[in-house]
Chains A and B, each alone.
Chain A
Amino acid sequence: ETAVFQTPNYHVTQVGNEVSFNCKQTLGHDTMYWYKQDSKKLLKIMFSYNNKQLIVNETVPRRFSPQSSDKAHLNLRIKSVEPEDSAVYLCASPGTDQDTQYFGPGTRLLVL
């Protein structure tokens, strides 16, 4: 049963443009995460957001910013995309077991 929803599935853009990806979860938890999966399928945490507090991974470039309207939504905005931003961006949230995270299907970004 899908509980983490992401849109769009796929996005193509050009260097310098701004993009925004959406994530919604119905797990009822107040923590959400964004991960980046590169072309070699390496998955790394970008940041987490809980209790209205943003916890930022210091390796994330400043052009990336999360945007939250409520605890069920955490969007990802990228100002002025770079070619190295081409990747799959995965949103996740814990369930009743706070240790276990459930992932959305991902948004694949291609920067030309």
Chain B
Amino acid sequence: GDSVTQMQGQVTLSEDDFLFINCTYSTTWYPTLFWYVQYPGEGPQLLLKVTTANNKGISRGFEATYDKGTTSFHLQKASVQESDSAVYYCVLGDSYQGGRALIFGTGTTVSVSP
């Protein structure tokens, strides 16, 4: 079945560092890929959506692209701030028995120190 693998469980950075998180996905269909971010005590919220390979999604200083050849999907930010500390999920949209459920990666906890 469709799946997404997110290998980095924890990333620790200082302010102004470069952030890079990578995922791989598996699907037999044309993927719709998302990055969601979750802050403590809140539900996940959409950060970026990418529907076309090699096209770049951009939001709030974050960029995301996916490579169909390597079935990889990554998120990056040139200069992180302490407020970017959160859990980041790569997510695959899945047509699920008629509904469109989301398949979440295991999440990357990003901690940014001032």
Give A contacts to B, CB under 8 Å.
4, 31, 33, 35, 40-45, 48, 50, 53, 55, 90, 92, 94, 97-106
Q: Can you list 15 residue pairs at the A/B interface with Cβ under 8 Å?
A: A41-B87, A42-B107, A43-B102, A43-B104, A43-B107, A48-B97, A55-B97, A90-B43, A90-B44, A92-B43, A99-B51, A100-B49, A103-B43, A103-B44, A105-B43
Give B contacts to A, CB under 8 Å.
32, 34, 38, 41-46, 49, 51, 87, 89, 93, 96-104, 106-107, 109
B42 touches A105 (CB 8 A): yes
A99 touches B106 (CB 8 A): no
Closest Cβ of chain B: how far from A6's Cβ, in Å?
8
Residues of A within 8 A of B51 (CB): 99
Taken together as a complex, chains A and B put the C-alpha atoms of A103 and B49 apart, in Å, by 15
Closest Cβ of chain B: how far from A9's Cβ, in Å?
9
Taken together as a complex, chains A and B put the C-alpha atoms of A85 and B97 apart, in Å, by 24
Taken together as a complex, chains A and B put the C-alpha atoms of A28 and B74 apart, in Å, by 32
Secondary structure at the B interface, as helix, strand, loop or mixed, is strand
B93 touches A99 (CB 8 A): yes
B96 touches A55 (CB 8 A): yes
Q: A99-B49, A100-B34, A100-B49 are contacts. A45–B43 as well, Cβ < 8 Å? A: no
Residues of B within 8 A of A104 (CB): 43
B98 touches A43 (CB 8 A): no
B99 touches A55 (CB 8 A): yes
Taken together as a complex, chains A and B put the C-alpha atoms of A84 and B37 apart, in Å, by 25
9 nearest interchain CB pairs?
A: A103-B43, A48-B99, A45-B101, A43-B104, A55-B97, A55-B99, A41-B107, A103-B44, A99-B32
Closest Cβ of chain A: how far from B73's Cβ, in Å?
15
B43 touches A48 (CB 8 A): no
* Of the residues B46, B87, B99, B103, contact of A102 by C-beta under 8 Å: B46
